[in-house]
Amino acid sequence: MKIKTLVMLICLLSFGVADAREMKAKKTAPPSNYGTTNQYYSQLISGGTPDVAELNLFANMLPKGGDIHHHYSGAIYAETYLDWVGEKNYCIYRESDGQLKAQKYRIEIKPAAELAEGAVKICISADAVRRDNAFYRELLMRWSDKDFSNHYHEQPAPDQQFFDTFAFFGPVSNAAFQDGLQSLKDRAKAENVQYIETMLKKPPDIANPHLAKLINDLKTEATEDDTEAVLSECADFMDGDAAAKAKIDDYVKSLEEVAAGIYDAAFKLRFQAYVSRNNAPAKVFSGLYAAFAAAKSSNLIVGVNIVGPENGHVAMRDYSLHMQMFRFLNQRFPGVKLSLHAGELVLGMVPPEGLKSHVREAVEIAMADRIGHGVDYCA
Ligand SMILES: [Zn+2]
């Protein structure tokens, strides 16, 4: 027998044996996708040193569906913000000065000609930041949570560090919505995320000094009826105010414009309108009114949210009032969905009494469809 023929025969025989084994296995119990994935994952995390590189690849490839708790400004990398600072010719304070109202790491959007001489000296360009490696690294750490916990440094409390970042990059975060959304979309697709529901920008304020005073004067002991009467008066005013309607229409239009061209057959983008929970009651209510009205008028806005440090003094003081506002606006704008930050607290951040009711009030009073965090607990 020629060698070539022998090799072919062995191949055929092995093929036949493998085929028969496979058929037998199929008749018994074919491995499920879940089983195979589970086995592969267990293998990656087994042993003393998990295979982190392969775990990362594995996690990237997992289909994730949607990211439904997404803050646009918190999702852009600090390096990208620095690029935008350069493009806009803004500068960044490299030290603080109380008299000049300069705060280290803050972006200055005023042109140099409008700044005091002292401020010009301590406010440096994006290029100058990049040339100073120590300050560049420091800046990235303060504009994000980068390296927060892997080395010793003088640091603010973790939650303070986190919320501070928004104020640092805030001035430039709305500089290029479409570029930012495109980069988020590209990254999402690379990570097998098909849907993002992001909080992009706040709805407009609708100011009316007389009505604002009525809401701001509501006392914590005001009855539900008293509160509802005041909220009704304000909402009635906003319903009939042409300027308010124009502002809300502009807001919706601005979201539609930046979203155009971002979503496609393989990727969906939607928005949540939101307000900050640490503002005066009148500002919170007018923002919420605009958010509900906007959500009612556009399919792109799929929900309303409330954001900011929940342990802030105003947020804690007005929490129940905010939930009543949601309940009230729910009735004015039926069908608008709520996705609320609620219970973003742990024991020690606030007195124990403050941990008892936030999640329940969000679900039972505000009638939230979803909540984010929900980790506060006190027996
Ligand atoms: Zn959040």
User: Which structural domain range is residue 355 located in?
Assistant: 200-373
Asked if residue 287 and residue 207 are part of one domain, the reply reads yes
Domain assignment present for residue 343? The answer is yes
* pLDDT value at residue 21: 55
pLDDT tens-digit map of 181-206: 999 999 999 999 999 999 999 999 88
Asked if residue 270 and residue 204 are part of one domain, the reply reads yes
- Residue 219 exposure: Cα atoms within 13 Å on the Cβ side: 3
Asked if residue 116 and residue 219 are part of one domain, the reply reads no
Domain assignment present for residue 162? The answer is no
Domain assignment present for residue 70? The answer is no
- The SS3 call for residue 76 is coil
* pLDDT value at residue 376: 87
Domain assignment present for residue 26? The answer is no
Q: How far is the CA of 311 from the centre of ligand 1 (A)?
A: 14
Q: How far is the CA of 58 from the centre of ligand 1 (A)?
A: 26
Q: How far is the CA of 313 from the centre of ligand 1 (A)?
A: 18
Q: How far is the CA of 346 from the centre of ligand 1 (A)?
A: 16
Q: How far is the CA of 179 from the centre of ligand 1 (A)?
A: 22
Spans of the chain, pLDDT less than 70: 1-28, 153, 378-379
Q: How far is the CA of 161 from the centre of ligand 1 (A)?
A: 15
pLDDT tens-digit map of 131-151: 999 999 999 999 998 888 887
Q: Answer for the pair 231, 328: CB distance below 8 angstroms, yes or no.
A: yes
Q: How far is the CA of 344 from the centre of ligand 1 (A)?
A: 9
Domain assignment present for residue 192? The answer is no
Q: What is the CA radius of gyration of the chain?
A: 27
Smallest CA-to-CA distance from 206 within 242, 257, 174, 253 is with 242
Q: How far is the CA of 77 from the centre of ligand 1 (A)?
A: 16
* pLDDT value at residue 93: 96
Asked if residue 364 and residue 229 are part of one domain, the reply reads yes
Q: How far is the CA of 294 from the centre of ligand 1 (A)?
A: 20
The number of folded domains in the chain is: 2
Q: To the nearest whole number, what is the mean pLDDT of the chain?
A: 89
- The SS3 call for residue 271 is strand
Q: How far is the CA of 33 from the centre of ligand 1 (A)?
A: 33
Q: How far is the CA of 165 from the centre of ligand 1 (A)?
A: 13
Q: How far is the CA of 43 from the centre of ligand 1 (A)?
A: 33
Q: How far is the CA of 76 from the centre of ligand 1 (A)?
A: 14
Asked if residue 344 and residue 237 are part of one domain, the reply reads yes
Q: Please give the angle made by the CA atoms of 9, 14 and 17, to the nearest 5 degrees.
A: 125
Q: How far is the CA of 156 from the centre of ligand 1 (A)?
A: 20
* pLDDT value at residue 74: 92
Asked if residue 233 and residue 120 are part of one domain, the reply reads no
> What is the spatial distance between Cα 175 and Cα 252, in angstroms, rounded to a whole number?
18
Domain assignment present for residue 41? The answer is no
Q: How far is the CA of 342 from the centre of ligand 1 (A)?
A: 10
* pLDDT value at residue 379: 63
Asked if residue 136 and residue 211 are part of one domain, the reply reads no
Q: How far is the CA of 150 from the centre of ligand 1 (A)?
A: 23
Q: How far is the CA of 178 from the centre of ligand 1 (A)?
A: 21
Asked if residue 305 and residue 362 are part of one domain, the reply reads yes
Residue with tokens 């998990």: 50
Structure tokens at 64: 């994730």
* pLDDT value at residue 30: 72
Q: Which letter does DSSP use for residue 151 in this model?
A: S
Domain assignment present for residue 8? The answer is no
Q: How far is the CA of 307 from the centre of ligand 1 (A)?
A: 7
* pLDDT value at residue 174: 81
pLDDT tens-digit map of 248-305: 999 999 999 999 989 888 899 999 999 999 999 999 999 999 999 999 999 999 999 9
Q: How far is the CA of 315 from the centre of ligand 1 (A)?
A: 15
Q: How far is the CA of 304 from the centre of ligand 1 (A)?
A: 12
> What is the spatial distance between Cα 231 and Cα 235, in angstroms, rounded to a whole number?
6
Q: How far is the CA of 166 from the centre of ligand 1 (A)?
A: 12
Q: How far is the CA of 340 from the centre of ligand 1 (A)?
A: 9
Q: How far is the CA of 273 from the centre of ligand 1 (A)?
A: 13
Domain assignment present for residue 56? The answer is no
